[in-house]
Structure 1
Amino acid sequence: MRADAARNRARVLQVAREQLAMGDDSLMLNTIARLAGVGVGTVYRHFPNRHALLEALMAERFQQLVDEARAAAAGAEEDAPASLRRLLRFTLGRMLDDAGFAAVLESAGGADAQTSALRADLDGALAELLDRARRAGAIRYGIEADDVRRLLCGIGHAVRSGGDDAAHAETYLDVLLEGLRPPR
């Protein structure tokens, strides 16, 4: 990327972050272009749509989730189910705190290369954690990382649609974990 293009991209991201910080989550690309002092075409060249911009903004948070998942997988030898619970609670908390992050985690496709790589890293760490929990007899066979991520996104949606009640989040998380156990 040319130096001027990199500066323009950084400026667009900075303005978009400022808009989010001020409570404007619309991320209107035309508005961001005007506020960043660049042409609309410049914004669309870097971010073809609102979701692409959101993915770029959430990359750091997504990386933090991947790091948390790797740490959970690495430390799961002693108590894989407890590590899984901590990871899911951490992820759900992030989703409920940041609707933009939740939208990126929930999106099924259209991800840019960085988001796709982060999703693959997350699924890899989660798969390792699930394998350890499965060996411990705590997780049923046939449940994969993508399944857990989708179910957790469903919980996030259920909590948000019900008024963001933290008590419901914990109850729903308990139901999910119980459902992941092998049949009795």
Structure 2
Amino acid sequence: MPSLNPERLRADSARVREQMLSVARERMRAGDADLPMNAIAKEAGVGVGTAYRHFPTHQVLLEALAADSLAALVADARTGANDPDPARGFARLMRAGLRLMLDDPALAAVLQRRDFACDETRELGAELFTSFGAVLDRARAGGAVRAGITADDLRRLMCGVQHAVRAGGDDGAAERYLDVMLKGLQNRAGSR
């Protein structure tokens, strides 16, 4: 199974890996979600075989790019699960998640999928969904989220909101769209 753990690499191999990640990160920020391995290898000054040894699939590369942001999202989910006000903890987590996805397009790409390629990502994903589930359960119990909304529903909605924000180019869109979503999720009299 592919690993995201660079500590297992020799120093020169770790430098090459970081150079490829730097190139891939810049390409993602420029809007190139395809991340062609040939182009990344060329820009990083390495052979394509070296690139594929480090990142055997597109998904492994995305997960490596998103690793720090995913860890930050897990930390935000833990914080949200411990917030004494369930509605505030839920809203804070949604805002943090959207901010992270907008700051890191690789995170958004990784969260769009339900399966992961690397063990570390699987572990972080499991921890995220456990902590997020606790936040969601408390928010439901406190009326901030209507019954029947699942963690997977929210994953999809958040991916949709970040896509809408990116498509619009409007500076205030993120908060506005998120506010619409949060209000639509609230448990109101007569809602199901």
Q: TM-score, normalised by structure 1?
A: 0.82
After TM superposition, list the pairs within 5 Å mapping 1:1-184 onto structure 2.
Answer: 3-4=9-10, 7-8=12-13, 10-18=15-23, 20-21=25-26, 26=32, 27-75=35-83, 77=84, 79-163=85-169, 165-184=170-189
Contact 2:60 2:117 in 1 (8 A): yes
* Rounded Cα–Cα distance in structure 1 between residues aligned with 2:147 and 2:43: 51
Deviation of 1:128 after TM superposition, in Å, equals 0.2
Contact 2:144 2:186 in 1 (8 A): yes
For 2:183, give the aligned amino acid. E
Per-residue CA distance 1:83-123 (angstroms, 9 max, x = gap): 11111111111222222222122234353222222222111
Contact 1:140 1:180 in 2 (8 A): yes
- CA-atom RMSD, angstroms? 2.5
Q: Percent identity?
A: 46
Structure 1 gap ranges (5+)? none
Contact 1:12 1:32 in 2 (8 A): no
Structure 2 gap ranges (5+)? 1-6
| Bigger mean CA offset, 121-130 vs 34-43 | 34-43
Query: Bigger relative contact order, structure 1 or 2, given CA contacts below 8 A and separation 6+?
Result: 2
Aligned residues: 180
